Amino acid sequence: MTTTAPRATVPVGLVLGGVVSQQFGAAVAALVFPLAGPLGVVTLRLTISAAVMVAVCRPRLRGHRPADWAVIGAFGVALAAMNMMFYQAVARIPLGAAVTLEVLGPLALSVVAARRASSWLWAALALAGVALLGRGGLGGLDLVGAGFALGAGAMWAVYILCSARTGSRFPKADGLALAMAVSAVISLPFGASTALLHPVALGLGAAVALLSSALPYSLELLSLRTLRQSTFAVLMSLSPAVAAVAGHLVLGQRLGPLDVAAVALVVVAGVGAVRSAGGPVV
């Protein structure tokens, strides 16, 4: 007991650090919207992240089958669409609400994969949290923004499926690096503009790329070497709560009683669904 606890603490800390980094990176991204727009920030983030990952991983381009490249293409499309829709959501609704709605995608995937009656109870609990968001929580929701957040959640579920297939076909993080490059190319027609060359936009864009992509992805890869996937999923379910705190501290988005209740319901539903699907997580 005394020897395994410290070992378990390290990967858990890595995941939590990645969650905090990613959500505070999203809050910083919102600060760049007035300069470059949501799609411009996506282009900055994906382009810088892809350049860093390709330079570090140096993925091999030869020797792959057409089916392998099809997976990379789908992965890149899912990654680009997820980011573009998420940032469009954050431009319209509070960060905590956006992540709360977005996390419904992976939650739905977990419920379907579990094929257990108890999983549907957790889904109902999550829907109760979403219902609170529609009753004035988090300052009221713009329907277009909520739609973008739900779309980002659907792409997050596709991202998870593509990530698993990519990991089985490409060594280390090569597949992720290639998919990031594809997503960066896809984002260019939507977000490229001279505004991206503004020194402040470039500086903050680099910070967003580091906080939202390079750092959390690296921490997740390190943690998954020793941490069970079920435990990892439970920790990732805390994202809406962390996002709400980041939105409050960085963007001044106030948290009321309904806000806290809605986020808490979705977080509890996420943890419960993962436990139901994967068994013990401790």
**Per residue, what are the HEC states of 170-217?**
CCCCHHHHHHHHHHHHHHHHHHCCHHHHCHHHHHHHHHHHHHHHHHHH
Phi-psi map region of 170: left, alpha, beta (phi>0 left; psi -120 to 50 alpha): beta
Residue 75: half-sphere exposure toward Cβ, Cα within 13 Å: 25
DSSP 32-67: HHHHHHHHHHHHHHHHHHHHHHHHHH----SS--HH
Could you list the mean pLDDT of each consecutive 10-residue stretch along the chain, which spans 282 residues? 56 86 94 93 93 90 91 94 96 90 82 70 78 64 90 90 84 88 95 90 91 82 69 78 91 84 83 62 40
Domain that holds residue 14: 4-278
> Residue 282: its pLDDT value, please?
39
Burial bucket for residue 66 (CB in 10 Å: 0-12, 13-18, 19+): exposed
Nearest Cα to Cα of residue 95 among 160, 38, 166, 10? 38
Nearest Cα to Cα of residue 155 among 259, 235, 74, 82? 82
Domains of the chain: total: 1
| Residue in the block written with tokens 């570090």 | 56
Report yes or no: 90 and 41 within 8 Å, Cβ to Cβ: no
> Residue 79: its pLDDT value, please?
92
Lookup: tokens for 168: 């089985």
